[in-house]
């Protein structure tokens, strides 16, 4: 069963985020706490949305998908960015990942989104094989750019004053 996450799912979502981070060899980077996740998913202005995959028989949480809207200046439309797709090891190959992705694709269609995009680590061949089996187009010509920590602070320190603070997001 695929369903929308509820605030009661926060501890399980946080646990799966840590499991995903361990699988991706970056456990120390998964610092989001339960209150941060609660605010991000269920606060006054949600930053993201989540689906939960449950075993129909036991109700056990088998995986999750976390996404947020994005915008393309090229198409002039919104799209979906999948931040996390995770299925617990014991449930892989049982259709949960495909069901989560299909539910998100249906959300895209329902909302009129033109694009459904996400990143995958170059070494994660099982995920890449799974995605390509679904017809995903891999965009090798793009590189992910990231500013964080000291580099982000240094660039921010050079920012000019914003003339219209309403445009500051």
Q: What are phi and psi of 86, to 5 degrees?
A: -140, 130
Q: What is the pLDDT of residues 70-110, one digit of tens each?
A: 999 999 999 999 999 999 999 999 999 999 999 999 999 99
Average pLDDT over residues 126-139: 94
Which pair of structure tokens corresponds to residue 164? 């219209």
- Statement: residue 163 has pLDDT above 70: no
pTM of the model: 0.90
| Average of per-residue pLDDT values in the chain | 93
- Statement: residue 168 has pLDDT above 60: no
Q: What is the pLDDT of residues 15-58, one digit of tens each?
A: 999 999 999 999 999 999 999 999 999 999 999 999 999 999 99
- Active-site residue, from 86, 96, 113, 131: 131
Which pair of structure tokens corresponds to residue 25? 């060899």
Helices (H) and strands (E) in the chain, counts: 5, 5
Distance CA 76, CA 73 (A): 5
Q: Are 34 and 10 in contact (CB under 8 A)?
A: yes
Q: Are 81 and 90 in contact (CB under 8 A)?
A: no
State whether residue 158 is helix, strand or coil: coil
23 is catalytic: no
Q: Are strands 115-118 and 2-4 parallel, antiparallel or unpaired?
A: unpaired
Average pLDDT over residues 143-167: 84
Average pLDDT over residues 96-125: 95
At residue 148 the predicted structure's pLDDT band, cuts being 50, 70 and 90, is confident
Domains and CATH numbers, the chain: 2-143 (3.40.630.30)
pLDDT at 162: 75
Distance separating the N- and C-terminal Cα atoms of the chain? 36
């Amino acid at each position: 069963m695929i369903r929308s996450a509820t605030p009661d799912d926060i501890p399980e979502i946080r646990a799966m985020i840590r499991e995903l981070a361990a699988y991706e060899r970056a456990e120390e980077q998964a610092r989001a706490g339960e209150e941060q996740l609660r605010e991000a998913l269920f606060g006054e202005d949600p930053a993201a949305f989540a689906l939960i995959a449950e075993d129909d028989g036991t109700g056990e949480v088998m995986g999750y998908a976390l996404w947020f809207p994005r915008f393309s200046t090229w198409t002039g439309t919104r799209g979906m960015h999948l931040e996390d797709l995770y299925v617990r090891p014991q449930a892989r190959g049982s259709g949960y990942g495909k069901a989560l992705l299909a539910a998100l694709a249906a959300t895209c269609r329902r909302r009129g989104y033109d694009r459904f995009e996400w990143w995958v680590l170059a070494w994660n061949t099982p995920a890449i094989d799974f995605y390509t089996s679904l017809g995903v187009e891999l965009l090798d010509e793009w590189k992910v750019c990231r500013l964080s920590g000291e580099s982000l602070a240094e660039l921010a320190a050079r920012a000019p004053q914003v003339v219209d603070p309403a445009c500051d997001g």
